[in-house]
Structure 1
Amino acid sequence: MSRIVFGLIGVVVALFPDGVIESYEAIALENPEECSAKPWLAPAVRAEGVLYVLATLAGGRAYGWLLNVAGVAGLVAAVAPKQYLDAGASLAYDRPEEVNWNEGFVTGVRVLGFALVVLAARALGKRRRA
């Protein structure tokens, strides 16, 4: 099931990176109109979507690698969501110090991080049993 979800997310992200970024900013930021993304952000988001699709189609080790990376990112997000988001802002925005996160979004990132850790751990357990 998670493979289908990752694949569908990848398709949406690859086809509509600008819309994904706009939706993310509308949900995540208190001040999206004051934040200017770096010019390479949309192509990088598209590439991430393509990577998700390729890994889910390939399955096996490629998909396992994707889940491992998601689990590590999830662990960081679960333990330190504000720092995780701030690190992303420093990579993605021209003036990261002006990025203000919605408080509820920070909590949501923590919950999503825990969910990714659980998903990755379950998948690792299944791969080891096989």
Structure 2
Amino acid sequence: MLRTLAALLGLVELLFPKQVVDVVTRLAYETPDEFEVKPWVYTAARVEGLVFLLLATGKLGSCADTDGDDVS
């Protein structure tokens, strides 16, 4: 369930970074209209979405030894 939620959030953030940043900014600040979001924030949101997707699919952060050799 948690992996599915992370994958869904990652996909939404990867495809729609402006909308996600706008929603989070409105939730985080009392007066979000006073803030100007820098262009690099949208790129960072896309990278974060990609990381969520990779973590959810198990392609990132796997520490398992896949070849069967005992390292210890």
What is residue 99 of structure 1 aligned with on the other side? none
Structure 2: unaligned runs, 5 residues or longer: 64-72
The amino acid that maps onto 1:7 is A
| 1:41 and 2:41 aligned | yes
Q: How does 1:2-81 map to 2 (within 5 A)?
A: 2-58=2-58, 62=61
TM-score norm. by structure 2 comes to: 0.76
CA RMSD after TM alignment: 1.8
Give the C-alpha shift of residue 31 in structure 1: 1.1
Query: Per-residue CA shift, 1:42-64, capped at 9, x if unaligned?
Result: 000011001110121125x6268
Considering only CA atoms, is the larger Rg found in Structure 1 or Structure 2? Answer: 2
Stretches of structure 1 that go unaligned for 5 or more consecutive residues are: 65-130
Give the drift of 1:11.
Answer: 0.5
Task: Give the length in aligned residue pairs.
Answer: 63
Distance 1:35 1:56, change over 3 A: same
TM-score, structure 1 as length reference: 0.44
Determine what percentage of the aligned residue pairs are the same residue. Answer: 33
Which structure has more relative contact order (CA 8 Å, sep 6+)? It is: 2
Q: Which structure is higher in helix share?
A: 1
Structure 1 contact 13–45 (Cα < 8 Å) conserved = yes
Q: Supply the AA of the counterpart residue of 1:24.
A: V
